[in-house]
Amino acid sequence: MTVRLLFRYGIVGLLGTALHFAALFVLVEAAKLHPVPASALGFVLVLLVSYALNRRWTFQASASGWKTLAKYTVVSVTGLLLNTGLMYLAVDRLHWHYAVGQCLVVVAVPLSNFLFNYYWTFREKRSGE
């Protein structure tokens, strides 16, 4: 694992965040969709784009296809659940300000997603395995 890999993963994450906000804005303001389904559609768009970028650019993995995409989706949804769980714990149980909870999320979720993607989603078989 290298700093370069973490840097690239972070760039893809920032791009994904920007794309999600842009898609949400366009779908709500221009297409007049309700924000909840608009956000869900944005999530799916970002999932596909970030999968492609992480597979090709970040991890430079040769593995592709539905199995790898399914693993990436599991990791992404797990990150979404972790996000929700941490915010619930911080805000509703610990009564912290939501911004503190979000800071916890910003550290924990990308790190856990990176580790799962590195060691599971895009893991290349090494000789002798």
Sorted by where each begins, the domain ranges of the chain are 2-123
pLDDT tens, residue by residue, 33-79: 898 889 989 999 999 999 999 999 999 988 778 999 999 999 999 99
Between 100 and 74, the more confident residue is 74
Cα distances (Å, whole numbers) of residue 38 to 24, 41, 51, 99, 117:
5, 5, 20, 24, 26
